[in-house]
A and B are shown apart, each in its own frame.
Chain A
Amino acid sequence: MEKKQYERPIIKSLNAGLMNKFGTRTEYAPMTHIDNVAVKDLIREFGSPLFVLSERKIRDNFKTAKRIFETRYPKVQFAWSYKTNYINAICNIFHQEGSWAEVVSRFEYEKALKNGVPGKKILFNGPDKTDDDLRTAIKNDSPIHIDHLDELYRLIELATELKTKPRVAIRVNMDTGVYPMWDRFGFNYENGQAWDAINKIMATDKLNLIGLHCHIGTYMLVPSAYGVAANKMADLALGVKKRYNKVISYIDMGGGFASKNTLKGSMQLGVDYVPEINQYAEAICSTLLNAGFDKDELPYLYLETGRALIDDAGFLLGSVISNKRLSDGRRATIMDFGVNILFTAFWYDHKVSPAQEFGMHTEDSVIYGPLCMNIDVVRENISLPPLKAGDQVVVHYVGAYNITQSMQFIALRPAVVLIDLSGKPHVIKQKESLKDVENNEVMPDYLKKIKL
């Protein structure tokens, strides 16, 4: 028989009134294993904190999303949003599944090329593309998604210079009934900017307009907004066909599907209110199918889904550094991970589960990170069983954005491990070292010597 775990005693005020409508049970069950690999073993082998990604979950998510769209619309192409998580191993899982690449910077573009993605299958997005970036993209025949008129004019000049016809799409922003409106990217639909840009492209004969792109927002909770967007995109595509007899190859609906994370300030848990991918798919596909495209000219539907495909495949493992009681009597738990590596803690109430069995009692607590900075708060209020120093926890839904947005601030960044389909862990990113951090530093000679 295993030794029973010691749990420190707690003092809790007695609520004599009616029971909380959610009952008395704790929020979470312990999470001791990820894909049948013990959290304990992972931390022992790779250290704490540690990012863990499940290949099984990633592939399952992708196949599910692909199936959901392809059983509703005959022409679907996913492009992996590099900014969501661009560890090469992760990108290549998506590329193996047939995903193209969607990048928003030269650095990501080079990464995609290096991963073996053909230039034709890299969608180049974003407002910041230098002449050199554009030249490279043109030479590789990558679809360039134009964000503003200056870029459009530059492209016309570069096309003349390179004597090729770059394949381009324009990014369109629009009112879908969701506010704030993302009108800072691309050309607006309602005020005619989008048509203006299309007319300019069609008038030059220097650019080949092959697609239309939109990205109506992030963490969208209203699927019908996608229906509105798809409708406006289809209207543009049909308009191009009608006015210029030009068939638009694809409509890129961008990303923005919500993951199961819980947004700060929301009443319910994310898992309970976030729409299923089915609902987004239904809104987009039925709109496009019924928009009135010719049977043989139905545009491809491109999707740059990132978050919804990987958030729940990522876990952050960490350990308790210490417990303390705050001045107002609240319990505080200090973890070895903070906002430096869990950037999304700024807008999500991340789900945190203990990684070992615990008793029936819980205590309201604050979770702080290890940084010597006041902002380093992981959860402002969470009900946790009494944890002691050295206990381990698992933070859920961290696959998207955290690894790419993590900061080397105060502490070094942890290793990233991928658990493959057979349950074998692979390090896909080494733990950062002092050498890594100092690698690009240059010390002028006169500062080399110090004497204290």
Chain B
Amino acid sequence: MKKVKQHIILYIEGILNSYSQIFFSTNKLFALLLMFVTFFDLRLGFSGLLAILIGQFTATVFNFNKEHIRSGSYTFNAVLVGIAIGNMYEYNVSFFVLLLMSSILVFFITLWFSTSLAKRGLPYLSIPFIITIWIVVLSSGNFFSLKPNIEHTYFLNTIFPGVFNQTTQDISGYRFANFIYLYLRSLGAIFFQYNDLAGIFIVIGLIIYSRIAFVLSVFGFIVGYLFYYFLQGDFTPLVYTYIGFNFILTAIALGGFFVVASNKSFLLILFMMPIIGLLISSLNVFFINLHLPIYSLPFNIIVLLCLSALYLRPSANGLQLVGVQQYSPEKNHYKYYNSLERFSAETYYHIALPIMGEWHISQGHNGDITHKEDWKFAWDFDLLDIDDKSFKLPGEALTDFYCYDMPVLAPADGWIVTIVDTILDNQIGEVNLENNWGNTIILKHGELLYSKLSHLKHDSIKVKVGDFVRKGTCIATVGNSGRSPEPHLHFQMQATPHIGSKTVSHPISYYLSNENELLNFHSFDIPVQHEVVSNILTTKLLLDSFNFIPGEKIKWLLKNESKEENVQWEIFTNALNQSYIYCHTTKSTAYYVNNGTLFYFTDFYGDKNSFLHSFYLAAHRVLLAYYEDVTIKDKLLIDSFFNPIIKTIHDFTAPFFHYCTADYQFQFISTDDEHLPTNINAKSISEGKIFGKKTQTIESIITFDKNTIQSVEILNGNKKITATCVR
């Protein structure tokens, strides 16, 4: 029974999505509005719906992926085909035979294009619809039972003429009324509705779906209109031949859906709209002779051309293609800019400092002594005393230097690929220019990523070529071999396994810098000259607390002033190895990453009033190492923080600038034992700012105890929730 219900829901979702997908959306409300608009002419609406059902049936019979049926991606072309045929022919038996055949045909064409274009990373848009319609139009001349549809008998206009006329009249009072007519009717034309009321419903749906898409549609349409105006073309016929919407769809597709909405994407639209105009004119001349409508052909051509060009760029600067499609220009936009701030560097392989304790960077990248030209991305390490000397007096012997013979660690897991261990250490002040790198170890961490440690002490190397070493293993000690007048450690990353290879710029994943006894946390940063740096020492209690295991169930007891509530979470890992917490009670999902040094959330889907969402904000980024006075900072997604009204208003201008920002801060407060904590208290603060002014603060206290997160206390304004982990 449950299974049947699930299936029905799947097909209903599929039907709705088939409508909203035409506007690149999966918004259900938008879908209902669009569906309603198609039923302005009952015949059109019905044939559209029927086409979807036929498409879904075909997909089911052929056992295609159910999720594609749900997303509507197989059937949104079918809606258009159904409506278009309904618009062309009268209902009779032949009509339904034609509808059946063309709905099956459009499904096959969709399949073929979806796979062949996917290889190039391109969408198939409404190409299947156009091809199917052409086939129908070209063939129909031979079938005499098909009657052209002349009277729109079941059109609501004829039933309720008042409503439609009133709308048109109301608009005429506005300035730019003519333009508004054109815009609304172009939107309506997507569903073969040449009236203003349809346009108004679609606009409402569009704004509900995406403010950015709405702004883009208006912008694109204006640019197209002005282009015709300046070149003294006639724009009006475009609308009633169902062609004007090409500007709108292209603007949404390239301005915010496939490309991240920004001022640059608007600039792209500014240039693309005139090209659409050119295409419409030229294609029209050609196809009119074949008696074929061009419908959305210009939109398809331009979007595909433009996306191909963006894919083929040697480097992805400026315009950004959307990586993971969120089916919303807003989400695509916010997610991209948030990721840019949060994770732009985290794609790097994790490389730690090759030392233990606090060391001084005596020369950083682009150093003024030897880190130049091809070898500029390197670090030199040494140790200093309170007088900033690297040696004790008299400083004549190697052993007078503090760093001499100190352990050198593997900066990451890797294979030993090259070793030199035959060069004697220099006396102080002497250099060996012949074997300038001295005793050296090169580790391979992956293809095109090697690390090199040089000037090691003669005979101190503890590993052999071919060994696999773990991060943090002591592999040698610091020496004074090669071009090294005094003992120090040289460390660099390179792309090839050779001694003398060119260096590459690569950050250190996580480390602390000590500035006058104040520790600063760095993530994916490059230590600079004279910085005093150390690796991060993780804390077992925190590691254990965040060590969520797939299948693990976590129960919480929530308490606020008035009521108590139980929620249950479960940990899952998906096929892409992404881990997430799923809240059974609120059906919400929060994706997280735990890399052994940090725990952080990457994504949230679901109920923003759920405790999972509060936890998503509270533990947005947690350092798994207890350090008092070290502050971890992060940025929150705007839509996960502000209330819907503020956020909706913000969306309209979001592509150009953000006046709403949301910052996150995390800090440890106390522990029972700083060396082997069994209890830790931490505090995080999320702050929303509008035009730099603080408007909302959420404070959370997280208590870790007995290897788990014991409780979370959330103070949002004057609302207080306490969540206790129940075993």
Question: With A and B bound together, what is the CA distance between A64 and B402 in angstroms?
Answer: 9
Also in contact, A60 and B386, with CB within 8 A (given A70-B357, A210-B676, A247-B676): yes
The 0/1 profile, CB within 8 Å of B marked 1, for residues 47-78 of chain A is: 00000000010011001100100111111010
The 0/1 profile, CB within 8 Å of A marked 1, for residues 319-359 of chain B is: 00000000000000000000000000000000000011111
Question: With A and B bound together, what is the CA distance between A297 and B356 in angstroms?
Answer: 17
Partner of B386, one of A63, A74, A210: A63
Question: With A and B bound together, what is the CA distance between A75 and B383 in angstroms?
Answer: 18
- Decide if A71 touches B355 in the complex (CB within 8 Å): yes
Query: Is A34 close to B, CB under 8 A?
Result: no
- Decide if B406 touches A72 in the complex (CB within 8 Å): yes
Question: With A and B bound together, what is the CA distance between A75 and B674 in angstroms?
Answer: 11
Also in contact, A289 and B673, with CB within 8 A (given A67-B402, A71-B406, A72-B406): no
Query: Is B633 close to A, CB under 8 A?
Result: no
Q: Which residues from chain A contact B535 at a C-beta distance below 8 Å?
A: 74
- Decide if A67 touches B675 in the complex (CB within 8 Å): no
Query: Is A249 close to B, CB under 8 A?
Result: yes
- Decide if A71 touches B538 in the complex (CB within 8 Å): no
Query: Is A296 close to B, CB under 8 A?
Result: yes
User: Which residue on A lies nearest to B402, using beta carbons?
Assistant: A67
Also in contact, A72 and B356, with CB within 8 A (given A60-B386, A63-B385, A247-B540): yes
Q: Which residues from chain A contact B485 at a C-beta distance below 8 Å?
A: none
Query: Is A343 close to B, CB under 8 A?
Result: no
User: Which residue on A lies nearest to B384, using beta carbons?
Assistant: A67
- Decide if B359 touches A71 in the complex (CB within 8 Å): yes
Query: Is B407 close to A, CB under 8 A?
Result: yes
- Decide if B385 touches A64 in the complex (CB within 8 Å): yes
Query: Is B543 close to A, CB under 8 A?
Result: yes
Question: With A and B bound together, what is the CA distance between A297 and B541 in angstroms?
Answer: 10
Q: Which residues from chain A contact B474 at a C-beta distance below 8 Å?
A: 289
A241 to chain B, nearest CB (A): 12
Q: Which residues from chain B contact A64 at a C-beta distance below 8 Å?
A: 385, 402
Q: Which of B509-537 contact A (CB under 8 A)?
A: 535, 537
User: Which residue on A lies nearest to B355, using beta carbons?
Assistant: A71
Also in contact, A249 and B540, with CB within 8 A (given A63-B386, A67-B402): no
Query: Is A250 close to B, CB under 8 A?
Result: yes
- Decide if B537 touches A75 in the complex (CB within 8 Å): yes
Also in contact, A72 and B407, with CB within 8 A (given A63-B385, A63-B386, A67-B358): yes
B297 to chain A, nearest CB (A): 62
Also in contact, A73 and B356, with CB within 8 A (given A60-B385, A289-B474): yes
Query: Is A120 close to B, CB under 8 A?
Result: yes
User: Which residue on B lies nearest to A143, using beta carbons?
Assistant: B673
Question: With A and B bound together, what is the CA distance between A14 and B173 in angstroms?
Answer: 129
User: Which residue on A lies nearest to B407, using beta carbons?
Assistant: A72
Question: With A and B bound together, what is the CA distance between A120 and B472 in angstroms?
Answer: 31
- Decide if B385 touches A71 in the complex (CB within 8 Å): no
Q: Which residues from chain B contact A278 at a C-beta distance below 8 Å?
A: 405
Candidate in A167, A247, A296 with the most chain B CB atoms within 10 angstroms:
A296
Main secondary structure of the interface of B (DSSP, over half): loop
User: Which residue on B lies nearest to A295, using beta carbons?
Assistant: B472
Q: Which residues from chain B contact A300 at a C-beta distance below 8 Å?
A: 675-676
B676 to chain A, nearest CB (A): 4
Q: Which of A119-150 contact B (CB under 8 A)?
A: 120
Also in contact, A71 and B675, with CB within 8 A (given A60-B385, A64-B385): no
Task: Give the interface size bracket for B toward A.
Answer: 20 to 34
- Decide if A120 touches B673 in the complex (CB within 8 Å): yes
- Decide if B675 touches A77 in the complex (CB within 8 Å): yes
Q: Which residues from chain B contact A75 at a C-beta distance below 8 Å?
A: 537, 675
- Decide if A67 touches B383 in the complex (CB within 8 Å): yes
Question: With A and B bound together, what is the CA distance between A63 and B384 in angstroms?
Answer: 10
A118 to chain B, nearest CB (A): 10
- Decide if B355 touches A249 in the complex (CB within 8 Å): no
A244 to chain B, nearest CB (A): 15
User: Which residue on B lies nearest to A76, using beta carbons?
Assistant: B357
Q: Which residues from chain A contact B385 at a C-beta distance below 8 Å?
A: 60, 63-64, 67
Candidate in B359, B405, B535, B676 with the most chain A CB atoms within 10 angstroms:
B676
- Decide if A249 touches B675 in the complex (CB within 8 Å): yes
Question: With A and B bound together, what is the CA distance between A63 and B387 in angstroms?
Answer: 11
Question: With A and B bound together, what is the CA distance between A60 and B402 in angstroms?
Answer: 13
Q: Which residues from chain B contact A56 at a C-beta distance below 8 Å?
A: 386
Question: With A and B bound together, what is the CA distance between A72 and B404 in angstroms?
Answer: 12
- Decide if B543 touches A70 in the complex (CB within 8 Å): no
User: Which residue on B lies nearest to A63, using beta carbons?
Assistant: B386
Candidate in A56, A59, A247, A295 with the most chain B CB atoms within 10 angstroms:
A295
User: Which residue on A lies nearest to B677, using beta carbons?
Assistant: A249
User: Which residue on A lies nearest to B676, using beta carbons?
Assistant: A249
Q: Which residues from chain A contact B676 at a C-beta distance below 8 Å?
A: 210, 247, 249-250, 300
Candidate in B357, B385, B406, B535 with the most chain A CB atoms within 10 angstroms:
B357
- Decide if A74 touches B540 in the complex (CB within 8 Å): no
Question: With A and B bound together, what is the CA distance between A327 and B386 in angstroms?
Answer: 52
Question: With A and B bound together, what is the CA distance between A289 and B470 in angstroms?
Answer: 14
- Decide if A296 touches B357 in the complex (CB within 8 Å): no
Q: Which residues from chain A contact B540 at a C-beta distance below 8 Å?
A: 247, 296-297
Partner of B673, one of A59, A249, A296: A249
The 0/1 profile, CB within 8 Å of B marked 1, for residues 214-254 of chain A is: 00000000000000000000000000000000010110000
User: Which residue on A lies nearest to B543, using beta carbons?
Assistant: A296
- Decide if A71 touches B537 in the complex (CB within 8 Å): no
- Decide if A71 touches B383 in the complex (CB within 8 Å): yes
User: Which residue on B lies nearest to A121, using beta carbons?
Assistant: B674
Question: With A and B bound together, what is the CA distance between A59 and B538 in angstroms?
Answer: 28
- Decide if B537 touches A74 in the complex (CB within 8 Å): yes
Question: With A and B bound together, what is the CA distance between A316 and B474 in angstroms?
Answer: 44
User: Which residue on B lies nearest to A302, using beta carbons?
Assistant: B675
Q: Which residues from chain B contact A74 at a C-beta distance below 8 Å?
A: 356-357, 535, 537
- Decide if A67 touches B386 in the complex (CB within 8 Å): no
A164 to chain B, nearest CB (A): 12
A69 to chain B, nearest CB (A): 8
Question: With A and B bound together, what is the CA distance between A77 and B676 in angstroms?
Answer: 12
A423 to chain B, nearest CB (A): 14
A190 to chain B, nearest CB (A): 28
A265 to chain B, nearest CB (A): 28
Q: Which of A54-111 contact B (CB under 8 A)?
A: 56, 59-60, 63-64, 67, 70-75, 77
Question: With A and B bound together, what is the CA distance between A56 and B386 in angstroms?
Answer: 9
Question: With A and B bound together, what is the CA distance between A250 and B677 in angstroms?
Answer: 12
Question: With A and B bound together, what is the CA distance between A297 and B543 in angstroms?
Answer: 11
Q: Which residues from chain B contact A70 at a C-beta distance below 8 Å?
A: 356-358
Q: Which residues from chain A contact B407 at a C-beta distance below 8 Å?
A: 71-72
The 0/1 profile, CB within 8 Å of A marked 1, for residues 390-414 of chain B is: 0000000000001101110000000
Partner of A67, one of B357, B537, B543: B357
Partner of A71, one of B357, B472, B543, B673: B357
- Known contacts A56-B386, A210-B673, then 15 further A-B pairs from the complex at CB < 8 Å, ordered by chain A residue: A59-B386, A60-B386, A67-B357, A67-B358, A67-B385, A70-B356, A71-B356, A71-B403, A72-B357, A74-B356, A77-B675, A210-B676, A247-B676, A249-B675, A278-B405
Q: Can you identify 16 A-B contacts, CB atoms within 8 angstroms? A: A56-B386, A63-B386, A67-B357, A70-B357, A71-B403, A72-B356, A72-B357, A73-B356, A74-B356, A75-B537, A210-B673, A210-B676, A249-B673, A250-B676, A297-B540, A300-B675
Closest 4 CB pairs of A and B: A249-B676, A70-B357, A71-B357, A300-B675
B residues whose Cβ falls under 8 Å from a Cβ of A: 355-359, 383, 385-386, 402-403, 405-407, 472, 474, 535, 537-538, 540, 543, 673, 675-676
